């Protein structure tokens, strides 16, 4: 198969997918959300099984090394797991705080450089730009109400 035939097949496939999305948006939306829900549940179940396996290994290890009773073993394992979880959460919190401060500074810089006055913006638009600004969101809200509600 040469490159032009392959390109034609890809164009036909793309147009077919676009037609399916346009004509059956509710089916595509439902299929997408169902697939994502299934993958999320699978990931959640896998992470739960890994956690239970780690907890079981730590239970047997602590009970064998220190010869403790069941309650003491569970308490020790709980605090070990809290310590293991606290370290990545601490670094994740630091990362989010840095990102928040950087975004906040960029936002303040943007607003100091580009003050926004909606009335002046509206007056600066041409007639067709005003029609587009009103018509496009109205059509999007209408389509959302017709297809997804």
CB 70 within 8 A of CB 78: no
The tens digit of pLDDT for each residue in 37-47 reads 999 999 999 99
How many angstroms separate the CA atoms of 71 and 77, rounded?
Answer: 10
The tens digit of pLDDT for each residue in 101-147 reads 999 999 999 888 888 888 888 999 999 999 999 999 999 999 899 88
Q: What pLDDT does residue 116 have?
A: 81
Coil, helix or strand for 55? helix
Q: What pLDDT does residue 9 have?
A: 93
Say which residue the tokens 């089916």 belong to: 27
Q: What pLDDT does residue 137 have?
A: 95
**First CA to last CA distance, the chain:** 45
Percent of all residues in the chain with a pLDDT value above 70, rounded to a whole number: 100
Q: What pLDDT does residue 121 have?
A: 87
Q: Which residues are CB-neighbours of 103 under 8 A, at least 6 positions away?
A: none
Average pLDDT over residues 34-61: 97
Average pLDDT over residues 7-35: 93
User: Torsion over CA of 26, 28, 32 and 38, rounded to 10 degrees?
Assistant: 80
Backbone φ and ψ of 66, nearest 5°: -105, -5
The tens digit of pLDDT for each residue in 60-112 reads 999 999 999 999 999 999 999 999 999 999 999 999 999 999 999 999 998 88
Other CB atoms closer than 10 Å to residue 56's CB: what's the count? 11
Residue 138 DSSP label = H
Structure tokens at 120: 């002046």
How many angstroms separate the CA atoms of 12 and 19, rounded?
Answer: 10
How many angstroms separate the CA atoms of 63 and 73, rounded?
Answer: 6
Query: pLDDT category, 50, cuts 50, 70, 90?
Result: very high
How many angstroms separate the CA atoms of 137 and 144, rounded?
Answer: 10
pLDDT beyond 90 at 34:
yes
For residues 59 and 119, the model is more confident at: 59
């Amino acid at each position: 198969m040469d490159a032009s035939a392959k390109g034609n097949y890809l164009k036909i496939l793309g147009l077919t997918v676009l037609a399916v999305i346009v004509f059956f948006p509710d089916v595509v939306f439902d299929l997408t959300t169902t697939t994502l829900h299934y993958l999320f549940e699978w990931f959640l179940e896998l992470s739960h099984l890994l956690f239970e396996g780690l907890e079981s290994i730590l239970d047997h290890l602590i009970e064998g090394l220190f010869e403790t009773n069941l309650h003491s073993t569970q308490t020790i394992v709980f605090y070990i797991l809290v310590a293991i979880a606290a370290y990545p959460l601490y670094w994740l919190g630091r990362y989010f705080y840095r990102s928040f401060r950087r975004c906040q500074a960029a936002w303040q810089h943007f607003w100091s450089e580009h003050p926004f006055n909606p009335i002046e913006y509206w007056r600066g638009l041409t007639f067709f730009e005003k029609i587009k600004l009103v018509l496009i969101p109205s059509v999007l809200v209408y389509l959302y109400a017709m297809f997804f509600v």
